Homo-oligomer: A and B are copies of this chain.
Amino acid sequence: MTQTAPRPTLEAVAERAGVSRATVSRVVNGAHGVREALAERVRRAVEELGYVPNQAARSLVTRRHQAVAVVAAEPETRVFADPYFAQQLRGISKELTAHDNQLVLLLTEGREDHARVGRYLAGGHVDGALVFSLHLDDPLPALVRGAGLPTVFGGRPGWDEGLDDVVYVDSDNRGGARSAVRHLAGLGRTRVAHITGPLDQTSAADRLAGFRDVRPDTDPGLVARGDFTSGGGERAMRELLDRCPGLDAVFAANDLTAAGALRVLRERGLRVPDDVAVVGFDDMLPVAEESDPPLTTVRQDIEGMGRLMARLLLRGLDGEAPEAADGAPVPAASGVILPTTLVRRATA
């Protein structure tokens, strides 16, 4: 028997090209969404090493299952209780169905199940993945990328390395926050406070950054930490009033936080918006419309984000722009930021 040199692996190509396995996989399989400079490096490494894609692995990727996985980093109980996720899922479901792709929702009980999700994704059961990962230290994105599947993220991922290799859809959290704080300034408010979301989530960090863009010299006492819940909004509002009783406006990081703040303001006998103006974020129904008074807030198109995630993934899989189900144009960028709108109701 003659000894043959070991066949070069996908890993070897990735190492030589200085890119991730996922990127090699996508270039080799002709998927879109890889920058040309990167793709060229991969092609050169393939040639230099004499790499031949594994036929089985290749067929898993190139054979379309007409199925797309949706993965959330949150446990099943939170996913099902979260109206925000339900709205995004609605958009995803409509778009996938319009293109005859099966929506495969992978649920977990917690982080310890993420490795199993990674195995399923790598097992050749779906053509791509739509991933919601909210927290900076979440291991899920790495597992998903390791699976080598075309992926679109919901929300800007929390890591920086290799971000231009990542496709994601997000709202303009920073710009939306700026519009909220500018609106409060336009009403003549001078002591504007901010209740943040959990700052290990990029959406919360971006909204805080937008607040600081407009009010760079804000007294640190006017910023209190919340957690996107109404209970967190109540706690933070009490803290702010104790620290800065003269504040005349609050920008809350989301509508639930604003609802909690409104309860505390009422409890303390402060009139909204006369004494304190309030602006939320999301335009989450029915919270925003049914709050007392009805909430001025920054609207994001949550269902539209879901539709766009699905559309971008399908475009990458098909190697061309599909006709969007509602005829809307499909953007070309690899990170897509959707605009927000200020919705004026009664609180500011």
Contact = CB atoms under 8 A, between A and B. Distances in A.
Contacts of A89: 76, 80, 107
Contact of A102 (B67, B90, B93, B117): B117
Interface stretch (A108-116, A156-164, A176-184, A226-234): A108-116
A109 B80 contact: no
A97 B117 CA distance: 11
Interface residues of A, number: 29
A107 B93 contact: yes
Contacts of A76: 89-90, 93, 103
Contact of A67 (B67, B81, B108, B125): B125
A35 interface: no
A109 B94 contact: yes
A106 B104 contact: yes
Contacts of A143: none
Contacts of A94: 109
Interface string A85-98: 01001100110010
Interface string A62-99: 00011100000000110011000010011001100100
B125 A65 contact: yes
B125 A109 contact: no
Interface in A130-156: none
Minimum-distance CB pairs A-B, first 3: A105-B105, A125-B125, A97-B109
